[in-house]
Structure 1
C-alpha cells in the first residue's frame, strides 16, 4: 500500500492526468529546424579551467578596452577544437562580491556574443577591470568585447 499523498489514485485526484512537462521528439521537429545545415550552427564555446591555458593566453595578444581586457590566442593544430573562454578578476577589482559580480557580467557578455564573433580554435580570456566592469552599462560592455575581438583578429591578418 502506498502512503497517502505520494501519488496514488485514491489520495490524489490528479493522478490520472498526464504530466505538465512534455518534450519534442526529433521526428516531430518542424522541417526548418531539421533542414538546418551543420554550418549554420555556431561553434561550441567551452570554458577554460586549467591554469596552463590561462598562462598560455597571457603570453598571446591582448586588447585593452574601457570595460575589460581581452587576451586571445590561436591554439596549436593538435589541441582541442571549438572556442574556449576564461574569466578572471584580480583582488584589485574589489572584494569577493565585486569580483563575482564582474565575472558574472563578463560571462553573460561572452555567452551572448562569442559564438557569433569568436573564431574556431581560439582561446579568449576576459579580465575584469577595477570599478568599471561591474558599473559600466551592459550594452557598452558588450560593444567593448565585440570591438576587442575584432581588433585582435584584425591584427593577426
Structure 2
C-alpha cells in the first residue's frame, strides 16, 4: 500500500489531470488535492497553478514548494492512485513545515472521503442537476 521514498511518477498529460479532477478532493489553504485510482502501481503526482494566481515566477515558486513538500511526504502516497495538487497563493507565505503537514493530512483525507458522486451538486447520470430519479 505504501511506496518507498522517491517512488513517484509525474503526471504530464492533460488527460491525466482531467481524470484526477473527477476523483476525491481535499482542500487546504495553500493547495487543493485531487486523487483518483489509476492503472499503474506507482503513484502519479501532478502540479498546477492557474494564471489567476500571479506572474510566472510566483507560480513557479508555488510549484517548487509543493514539489518539495510532496517529496517529504512520498511515503504517504497510496500506490495505484494519481494525485493533482492545485496551488494557491497561500503556498508562498505558509511555513514549509505546515505545508508538509497539510499535504500529509490531505492525502489521508482523500482516501477516507466519500466517493466523488456523493458530493453535493454532483450531476446525475443524465447530466441534469434538477432531474428526479
Which residue in 2 is equivalent to 1:101?
Answer: 61
Larger Rg: 1
Which structure 1 residue ranges, 4+ long, deviate > 2 Å from structure 2?
none
Structure 1's unaligned 5+ residue stretches are 1-38
Q: Aligned to 1:63, which of 26, 47, 68?
A: 26
1:42 aligns with 2:4: yes
Q: Aligned to 1:72, which of 3, 26, 35?
A: 35
- Scaled by the length of structure 1, the TM-score of the pair is 0.68
Q: Quote the Cα distance in structure 2 between the aligned partners of 1:47 and 1:98.
A: 21
Higher RCO, 1 vs 2 (CA within 8 Å, ≥6 residues apart): 2
- Residue pairs, 1:18-33, within 5 angstroms: none
Per-residue Cα deviation, 1:27-63 (whole angstroms, up to 9, x for no partner)? xxxxxxxxxxxx9961720000110000000111111
- Scaled by the length of structure 2, the TM-score of the pair is 0.79
Q: Quote the Cα distance in structure 2 between the aligned partners of 1:66 and 1:150.
A: 16
- CA gap of 1:40–1:83, structure 2 versus 1, over 3 A, is closer
Q: Quote the Cα distance in structure 2 between the aligned partners of 1:102 and 1:124.
A: 17
Structure 2's unaligned 5+ residue stretches are 116-133
Q: Quote the Cα distance in structure 2 between the aligned partners of 1:85 and 1:49.
A: 9
